[in-house]
Chain A
């Protein structure tokens, strides 16, 4: 596979469940990002990792927990989510942090019941 891949593409979970979103980039980039995209709202930057070190955490609730084991993989662990957390979660990567050339994955469509 090329570019940025995300799994699963769709996820339905109850408020008491624990699940994880996975992102993998095959571009040799050093920075990876999680975004939340809700209807009628701008893309919200959640977390930024550079060389596996978190460099940005935009006041995201602790029920979202990122993990970056290496520069190619990024996870978003989810637990005790709320219905308002239902959204499209997008992963992106770029050669370095906050660079203008970001490449996005297809996203995971999350529905919290």
Chain B
């Protein structure tokens, strides 16, 4: 089993839809969970990061972590065409031998 699994999509939704992006992981040592957005021909840009299980909200974006299920999600409300990008999850262990792993990324298109 891969350490981090992320469905590469592509995912296509109409403008205004709620988008749900997900990753699962197998290593219980991961402590921090991040979501990056990558536009075409650009480097990834950090959107949000969370530490504990639960929800974290920032504008139209909500990051959710369920450590018991080893499952993280990113929700985008009222999606806009400008949200069209590839979304990468990432996670890192802390304390001792650090490990940083990215998912493959999910390509999202929001159609006007």
Main secondary structure of the interface of B (DSSP, over half): strand
Q: Please tell me if the beta carbons of B101 and A100 are within 8 angstroms of each other in the complex.
A: no
* Chain B CB within 8 A of A101 CB: yes
* Chain B CB within 8 A of A105 CB: yes
- What is the size, in residues, of chain B's interface with A at 8 Å between Cβ atoms? 27
Q: Please tell me if the beta carbons of A106 and B104 are within 8 angstroms of each other in the complex.
A: no
Main secondary structure of the interface of A (DSSP, over half): loop
Cβ contacts under 8 Å, B102 to chain A: 42-43, 45
Looking at A40, A42, A101, A104, the one whose CB has the most chain B CB atoms below 10 A away is A42
State whether A40 and B43 are in contact (beta carbons under 8 Å apart), knowing that A98-B94, A100-B32, A101-B49 are contacts in the complex.
no
Question: Number of contact residues on A: which range applies?
Answer: 20 to 34
Given A56-B98, A100-B49; 4 other pairs, CB 8 A cutoff: A99-B92, A100-B34, A104-B36, A104-B44
